[in-house]
């Protein structure tokens, strides 16, 4: 489990619209972490929340269709 794994996923989403679309679907951080684990990312809800807080990002979705603004480019 690591914050580095969270960062790797946020970078992957910033580089690939398909990754972003896949991870914009989960409604909760718990669902997001389960999906990430199925793709080989190893982190907890707490680690995700910490990385997002440290970077000033918010997990909530916005827009239509709903999307997250957590992706790093």
| pTM, 2 dp | 0.94
Residue 68's DSSP bridge partners are 61
Can you tell me the mean pLDDT for 26-37?
A: 98
Where do the H-state alpha helices sit in 1-73?
A: 3-15, 17-24, 29-38, 45-55
- The CA distance from 46 to 29, in Å, is 9
Q: Do 60 and 68 form a contact (C-beta atoms < 8 A)?
A: yes
* pLDDT tens-digit series, residues 46-70: 999 999 999 999 999 999 999 999 9
- Reduced to 3 states, what is the DSSP secondary structure of residue 61? strand
Read off the pLDDT band of 1 (50, 70, 90): low
Quick one: tokens of 18?
């398909």
């Amino acid at each position: 489990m690591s914050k580095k794994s969270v960062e790797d996923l946020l970078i992957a989403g910033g580089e690939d619209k398909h990754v972003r679309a896949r991870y914009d679907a989960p409604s909760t951080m718990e669902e997001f972490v389960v999906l990430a684990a199925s793709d080989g990312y190893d982190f907890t809800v707490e680690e995700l929340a910490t990385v997002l807080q440290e970077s000033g990002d918010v997990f909530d979705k916005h827009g239509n269709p709903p999307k997250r603004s957590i992706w790093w480019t």
